[in-house]
Structure 1
Amino acid sequence: MSPSILLTRPGAVAATGPDDGVAAHYGHPVTEQRALERGIGVVDLPLVAVTVTGPDRLTWLNTLSSQVITDLVPGGSTELLLLDPNGRIEHAAAVLDDGESAWLITERQAAEPLAAFLDSMRFMLRVEVAQQPDTAVLGTSAAGPDLRGLAPEGSRPALTWTDPWPDTAPGSTRYGHPDADHPGTQWRARLTLVQRDHLTEVVTAAEAAGARLAGAWAWEAMRVSAWRPRLAREVDERTIPHELDWLRTAVHLEKGCYRGQETIARVFNMGRPPRRLVLLHLDGSEHVTPEPGEEVHSGERVVGRVTSVVRHHELGPVALAMVKRNLAADAPLTVAGIAAAQEIVVSPDGMGTGRPEPSQGPALRRRTL
């Protein structure tokens, strides 16, 4: 996919890595971050859409994914995970339905593999899978500007997805803080799908109404401070949802069989996830930050790796990292020689809320959440 037209804006600096193709910032990364926090920021995101169209779309997606999709109403928002047979995350997507098609919003690099997997699973069902390269994704705060009415007359109606994070949905569980105490409640995301040909016009209209264009760095700072996992950053070939506290919004524990469900149930009922997500507060006096992928050390021992690194306008340099579950919460840590202190995201005890009583056994359908 070609780079975004908004990279031609004055001051635009191109992002790299999974954000390639959009702007990291437009010359004022801290101001842009504050604009997002205030609810006036608009971000051109490195996300794309895959559609599933046809009368069987919701029931079919329901059989494949970790989430209950059958009761998704037009305009409603949810998210799903597609797992491998061992319960490891292969795909993640924000999902909304317009009454005719289910729109799956995912990472740019993941769209083609996602579409290929879905297409391979169609069999005789009445569904059609298609990538939507003509659709751009704009991000705002959920309390920010509504972009749906800004598209030019005659263009396709814009669709909006509201992030459920960090609410623990009915039928789900959490491995970290209660919803009311979770930092994700302080900033929630909204994604709006617009025709790529009209991207400039929509953003210009938003700016005329008081919005400010912001880059991917600002978006990532908000995401990391909300402890929000991202497929392109926090997920590797071993990741199971429990390690990221992703059961909150993406997994329904009482739905029927799907690939990877046995691992979801077994770890929830009887086991503990082998790793856990933490937020690392990095020593800001070094004036440098580690790169994603750097090892986390406790003394001479490697205890994890960094997945996302940002400079937050209030928290300073912070990172998300996956560490061993049994790492002590007060263990002194370093990343690339930089001192780090961990803030617990996923509880070290590895226990989800709403666990069944021992007499109930492991059956998922008998669990009271």
Structure 2
Amino acid sequence: MTDTERAVHAAAQRSQEAAAELAPLTRAAKDEALSAMADALVDNAESIVSANAQDISRAREAGETEAVIDRLALSRERVGGIAEAVRAIADLPDPVGEVLRGNVLPNGLELRQIRVPLGVIGIIYEGRPNVTADAAALCLKSGNAALLRGSSSAYASNSRIVEVLRGAVEKTAVPADAVQLVPGSGRESAQALMRERGLVDVLIPRGGASLIRTVVRESAVPVVETGEGNCHVYVDEAADPEKAVAVAVNAKTQRYSTCNTAETLLVHAGIAERVLPRVLRSLRELDVTVHGDERVQEWDETVVAATEEDWATEYLSADLAVRVVDSMDEALGHIRTHSTRHTEAIVTDSQAAARHFTSRVDAAAVMVNASTRFTDGGEFGFGAEIGISNQKLHARGPMGLPEMTSTKYVVTGDGHVR
């Protein structure tokens, strides 16, 4: 075992011990700790921004783009926003202890199924240092210990944020080791975390497709697969053209870099003449590059010829793949082939078409006459989220606080024997 592996193993052991102390705490105790964390972030904003400047300097020396640097950068205002997000998490209902079902069995045993924390949650994430505080707060509120592995590009920022958070919670009933940064910034530390099965209960990767696939492939710890979103908007023959244009353009252009942004537009041939020219014109005005099939290219000479790779690409940029289809079933076939099962949308005024689509699409969220951009914990009214799961086990869709819990059965008898 290397020094890094030993350090990560020791951290995982401390997290497990902290999780045992954290699990039975009351909401009041956890909220007090969250409030202390928020106050500490504000009080230490200057030192956090100073640490962040080191990361920014290294990013510029490495030739990173301004978009990457912007995601990495912190200011006093941004730190204040992070603190407000922590306060918002404190205001959310506590899922721990919720009774999901309960009854008295014929033999007199009292049966209750209740929510309990998962235990130790490892989070491997990229870029944004605000995730450090968000993830720590979400884990704490749901009674879990957080073992955080951010990217090396934000190591100074993350280290200082975790130091501040630990200093805040150790003055409360919450153990300081409920929030830990995984030791080391190299690939070895992430690999060591992925091997801590038995101490770490679940891993959640947050970042690009490459990171998520690596964690899913290499981890011995159970993984909640999040994030990758090759989302589609299908405009049905029975769609209202006004709604179709509004949804298609918003789903692509409201924000380019999110997993719930539409990457492919499918338009039924029967309505293409009334919808496609308007959509293409709007996209062109917004400097979106359209990658289209032959029929789409006929409508606009600026359309780039789409390749097979385009249909499978999560662009996360001002690019959109567009195809004309002859039926809904053809659209469904395309989606089955290329979807990442995140969010799919249909625009139609036909209830029958909507039912046909929603019953046959396999995705965490299916939108009817609404933009894919609504797949979000905040938009769904869940409050904050740790990520959007596009797998099928345990949690699917936006992962709010309830999705960061498991359940256990509590059975009460009176000397019952079988």
TM-score, shorter chain, exceeding 0.5: no
Q: Which TM-score tier does this pair reach, normalised by the shorter chain?
A: under 0.3
TM-score under structure 2 length normalisation: 0.25
- For the pair shown, the structure with the greater C-alpha radius of gyration is 2
Structure with the largest fraction of helix: 2
> So what's the TM-score if we normalise by structure 1?
0.27
